[in-house]
Structure 1
Amino acid sequence: MASIFTKIINGEIPCHKIAEDENYFAFLDISPLALGHTLVIPKQEVDYIFDLEDDVLSGLHIFAKKVAKAVEKTMPCKRIGVAVIGIEVPHTHIHLVPLNKIGDLNFANQKLEVSAEQLAEIADKIRKNF
């Protein structure tokens, strides 16, 4: 059965897409730790990041770097935090989270409630900086 992320890639579930190429996809987290919290995934559905082939893993990080630079240009923050948890969805994904202090990257923090309209506006702004 396809993961929720594969369904997003295939357009079966809507998302606020930031960027896409032939191998990778980036979209806003709908339950973000911070405004601009973005998920970056390989299109290839592999559960555990360290099971990716080396070229896919390195390409994922290079793609994530480009996305992070666009998020950083768009969202007021000191830098972009990077996290790979890999527990909640069986599809490799990197979290890019705008940070102003170290505690901003704590997944135990309460998630923000953001409207679909606000997410669409943020995604549009980040895309323009990609």
Structure 2
Amino acid sequence: MYEDDHILAFLDLHPIRAGHVLVIPKAHHVWFEDLPEDLATRITGCAQRLARRMKRLYEVERVAMFYTGIHVAHAHAHVVPMHHVHDVTSQAYLSAGHDAFTMPAQLPDSEMEEIARKLRKG
């Protein structure tokens, strides 16, 4: 589907929706946070081009892009045309069923501030 010297894009064998594409770096990196910034940018640019095509082809409003790394220890991005609002939704939002939406509990402000402080600190 797409290939250059640094990345490869191909259809997922077990798609969430038709058109689900994986964009992977040719160089091995286990986690997405280990990707060199220029390589991550290249993956995102490819995903954006695919998303624009998916919107036209599938007549969808949204296309999701995310990294998981759950089944394969090689950084890879998923690009998924979203036909349904919950195509890529966490189970945490679906306690009332697939066609409903349940907002998870909000953390207390003090806990949010502490998390933000720790993330800023690094």
TM bucket, shorter chain: 0.5 to 0.7
Q: Structure 2 regions of 5+ residues with no counterpart?
A: 92-122
By relative contact order (CA 8 Å, sep 6+), the higher-ranking structure is 1
How many matched pairs? Answer: 91
Which residue of structure 1 aligns with residue 18 of structure 2? 35
Summarize the alignment of residues 28-67 of structure 1 with structure 2, pairs less than 5 Å apart.
Answer: 28-67=11-50
Q: Is the counterpart of residue 94 in structure 1 residue 80 in structure 2? A: no
When Rg is computed on C-alpha atoms for both structures, the one with the higher figure is 2
RMSD between aligned residues? 1.7
Shift in Å, 1:107: 7.4
Q: d(CA) in 2 for partners of 1:89 and 1:107?
A: 20
The match for 1:78 among 61, 70, 74 is 61
Q: Structure 1 regions of 5+ residues with no counterpart?
A: 1-17, 109-130
CA contact (8 A) 1:26 1:67 kept: no
Shift in Å, 1:27: 0.4
Large movers: runs of 4+ above 4 Å: none
Shift in Å, 1:35: 0.6
CA contact (8 A) 1:36 1:98 kept: yes
Q: d(CA) in 2 for partners of 1:37 and 1:53?
A: 24
CA contact (8 A) 1:77 1:100 kept: yes
**What is the TM-score with the length of structure 2 in the denominator?**
0.67
Q: 3-state DSSP class of the match of 2:72?
A: coil
Give a deviation string over 1:39-61, Cα, whole Å, max 9, x none. 11111111100001111111211
Q: 3-state DSSP class of the match of 1:55?
A: helix
**What is the TM-score with the length of structure 1 in the denominator?**
0.63
Q: Amino acid of the residue matched to residue 100 of structure 1?
A: H
